[in-house]
Amino acid sequence: MCGIAGFFDPKKRISDPAGALGLMTDAIFHRGPDDSGEWFDPAAGVALGHRRLSILDLSPAGHQPMSSPSGRYVIAFNGEIYNFHRIRQEIEKVEGNHPWRGHSDTEVMLAAFETWGVEDAVRRFTGMFAIALWDREARCLHLMRDRIGEKPLYYGWSGNVFLFGSELKALRAHPAWQAETDRGALALFLRHNYVPAPFSIYAGIHKLVPGAVLTLRTESDPPGLLPEPVPYWSFAQAVADGLDRPFGGTEHEAVDQLDTLLRDAIGQQMVADVPLGAFLSGGVDSSAIVALMQAQSSRPVRTFTIGFHEAAYNEANHAKAVARHLGTDHTELYATPRDALDVIPRLPELYDEPFSDSSQIPTSLVSQLTRRHVTVSLSGDAGDELFGGYNRYFLGRSIWRTIGWMPRGLRSGLAAGCTTLSPACWEALGTFLPKKVRPSHFGDRMHKLADIVAVESPAAMYRRLVSHWGNPGDVVCGASEPETVFAEGSRTPDMNDFTLKMMFLDTLSYLPDDILVKVDRAAMGVSLETRVPFLDHRVVEFAWRLPLSLKIRGNEGKWILRQVLYRYVPRDLMERPKTGFGVPIDSWLRGPLREWAETLLDEGRLRREGFFRPEPIRKKWSEHLSGKRNWQYHLWDILMFEAWLERQQRGAGR
């Protein structure tokens, strides 16, 4: 895992290109503290920079940027190619005695590009990656990103210079940087709590979409022109193919095949020349990853858990029980509220653009703990999206089956009835329900249910379920919300099942733009590499061949993944309600964070900055403080933008 940065300056306007590139790579030092490298093609105006976190081939033979033996290709690469040994063997069959200099995956990638060309080579890679590849012969710059989007890559023209890098802070460090906050992207952020690709918070600066190659032809493309990314792998096509060719074996055969696929993916991802471990929350996903790691390891796997003293947020006891059964070398840290609160001032710098999934806080804490002991950690992310684990898959399905037959007017009447009573009244009525079936924040949930019941279609219901601010245009001044994959008419594979559609959209946006961003920035902020075995594309493609009945049964998801897990861990250790990985932001905003939040939400401040209309924000803040409503998610969105903006303004003033 590393960080990359670079630029193309066609007019040669940067008087000190080495200094400019140094500023860019220094800005992402945390992504690669072990080594740095720079490479220039002065005639073309191309510069590639690299920060290295040494994982494979710790010798100087793994140094980047790296040139191919013929000198045609030069690469700066962030990530890992897990099947590089197999690719190396294929190349040797084609070429015979290839002049290898070391045993890094980077060197194998360069040989693959020379052997098969750019697109044919990248299709052979199994792994996570963001790649900048300069072709000295064709005079073009290729940017590539892995299939699902584990590794970040930003790019765009700033002035007359094309900039790219692993994080926005690398682009901002370049002397040519000039960009304004994109109000449309800000509206998207308030809806989703992240900025979905291809947008970034800055106008004209983009995230490269997963599974694509962007090729800038430096001698023919006019400065300022952004070519369209070309897919080398399509998740939508993989889904369509899976639905067209469903798995035809028995349930037992499906479990066997998933077990085999996961074993192979995990086995490949356990290869490292540095200490390696895994996050273990005690849930199904992380427990399955750790169980299959331990099954292939001759010594105890290192596992790591963060615990909280607040019972509603704590899974450490479950993780310890799983670790004890599997015989892992387990480390846990119980975090205090002070530990968690101390993370908050670092969030704007860590996440680099507005990001308000509050589980970023415990993710940062577990990453800090893990990095004290290992350099690489496997995680169980993506199990929910692939195998049907989120509550909304059951909630949305159940609600629409119940109310979908009703005329829209009747549903609107039901919605109005739900909001006749205040959340406080619903809370009081909820006390008559058995504790087992009474959800937390019952009153707020009844009002949210009213919003959902009134929608006109399943697609609109899903959009509402994944939205924080339902109408961000009412809050962001001068914003026109851009269309995304969540739009009703977006091009998606033909699927009649509402739950499948939700799982598809979650994997297309929520997974890469929220979950994977959260983990990448938290881990790389402490120079920790994370790996996600569920995102091996062979596992993804197999998951979409499975019928929904092998994923969701009744109100329980991940059925097939549970069957794999039960081969290694007793069922009674896993049968419990799903717990989110969160922190009590709602009570903190009324307590230790109140003064900080009040400063950022000051009405005069909001008016001066001109991004938000203060009235709806101040109304929610007042209702939250009084306990009348729980607006933690909406307020955290605003607070994370304001903290980010304050950090940018301080940086600009230096």
Q: CB burial class (10 A; 0-12, 13-18, 19+) of residue 514?
A: buried
Q: Which helix (H) or strand (E) holds 219?
A: none
How far apart are alpha carbons 242 and 261 in whole angstroms?
Answer: 16
pLDDT at 445 (0 to 100): 66
How far apart are alpha carbons 39 and 43 in whole angstroms?
Answer: 13
The domain locations on the chain are: 2-233, 236-386+512-573, 391-501, 585-653
Q: Which residues of the chain have pLDDT under 70?
A: 1, 56-58, 310-313, 404-406, 408-409, 411-412, 415-419, 421-424, 426-428, 430-432, 435-451, 454, 487-491, 576-582, 652-654
DSSP category for residue 375:
S
Class of domain 236-386+512-573: alpha beta
Please state the pTM of the whole predicted model.
0.92
CB contact set of 517 (below 8 Å; sequence gap of 6+)? 152, 194, 351, 355
Q: Which helix (H) or strand (E) holds 583?
A: none
pLDDT at 97 (0 to 100): 77
Burial per residue of 54-88, b for 16 or more beta-carbon CB atoms within 10 angstroms, e otherwise: bbbbeeeebbbbbebeeeebbbbbbbbbbbbeebb
pLDDT at 155 (0 to 100): 98
DSSP readout, 601-625? T-HHHHHHH-SB-HHHHHHHHHHHH
Q: CB burial class (10 A; 0-12, 13-18, 19+) of residue 595?
A: exposed
pLDDT at 580 (0 to 100): 56
pLDDT at 41 (0 to 100): 94
Token couple for 627: 């306990």
Neighbours of 90 (CB within 10 A): 16
User: Which residue in the list 2, 418, 425, 477 is annotated as catalytic?
Assistant: 2
Domain 2-233 = CATH 3.40.50.1370: no
Token couple for 600: 């950022």
Burial per residue of 350-374, b for 16 or more beta-carbon CB atoms within 10 angstroms, e otherwise: bbbbbbbbbbbbbbbbbbbbbbeeb
User: What's the Cα-to-Cα distance from 539 to each of 158, 172, 492, rounded to whole Å?
Assistant: 39, 37, 21
pLDDT at 77 (0 to 100): 95
Note the helical H segments in 117-182: 118-124, 168-172
Cis geometry, peptide bond prior to residue 65 (ω within 30 degrees of 0): yes
pLDDT at 654 (0 to 100): 41
Fold matches, 2-233 and 236-386+512-573: no
Is residue 2 annotated as a catalytic residue, yes or no?
Answer: yes
pLDDT tens-digit profile of 192-232? 999 999 999 999 999 999 999 999 998 877 788 899 999 99
How far apart are alpha carbons 379 and 533 in whole angstroms?
Answer: 7
